[in-house]
Amino acid sequence: MCEHPGCREPGEFRAPGVQGNSFDGPGEWRWLCLDHVREFNAGYDWFEGMSAEEILSAQSPAAGWQTETRAFKPTAGVDGMPRWADFDDPLDAISARAAGIKSRARREAEMALDGRFSPDEAKALETMGLGLDTDRQRLRRRYSELVRRYHPDRNGGDRKYEARLGRVVEAYQLLRKSRAIA
């Protein structure tokens, strides 16, 4: 039923409730009939308090693309993927990221098809940033380099690379036992 006081129509349309979005999750919704959701929308002005320049900027087709997500923060390039800040056009950034993902998948497939490495070992080599010609000495040297790069003690206590460090350690543990690496 419509949540507008005194209305008996079916509540088919969602409108924001009293409690908005918060740390605990999305806010509550109210369900209104068509007439009352139209009334609600007519009284809602997203641009209230904005200057003409701010309104024009918010209505631009590219508005909001500069917002950094975790994948495109300035520190995101440490994994070899492009950073959002490296591009002026959002489509170029998305295209470069997709190309990076495709080339990573292609390299993993080539390593797995080589026959020496299992798919898990191929993924571990990719995580470590190594190729098919890896030997134990090179594996150990790369592991040391990545641990130094991602360890919180080397980053002023910053734990944002902790998950990446965990993946590197797992990859190294798998590869050091591999028979394919001499």
Q: What's residue 10's pLDDT? A: 92
Cα(175)–Cα(135) distance, rounded to whole angstroms?
Answer: 10
* Share of residues in the chain with pLDDT > 90 (%): 15
Across 28-42, 61-75, 84-98, 102-116, which has the greatest mean pLDDT?
28-42
Query: Residue 65: is it exposed, middle or buried by C-beta count within 10 angstroms (0-12/13-18/19+)?
Result: middle
Contact criterion met (CB below 8 Å) for 7 and 36 = yes
Average pLDDT (163-181) is 87
Distance spanning both ends of the chain, measured CA to CA: 70
Instruction: Kindly report which listed range (51-60, 120-129, 156-165) carries the lowest average pLDDT score.
Output: 156-165
Residue with the larger pLDDT of the pair 16 and 3: 3
- 3-class secondary structure, 22: strand
Q: What's residue 126's pLDDT? A: 80
pLDDT above 80 for 115: no
Task: Report the predicted TM-score, pTM, of the whole model to 2 decimal places.
Answer: 0.45
pLDDT above 90 for 128: no
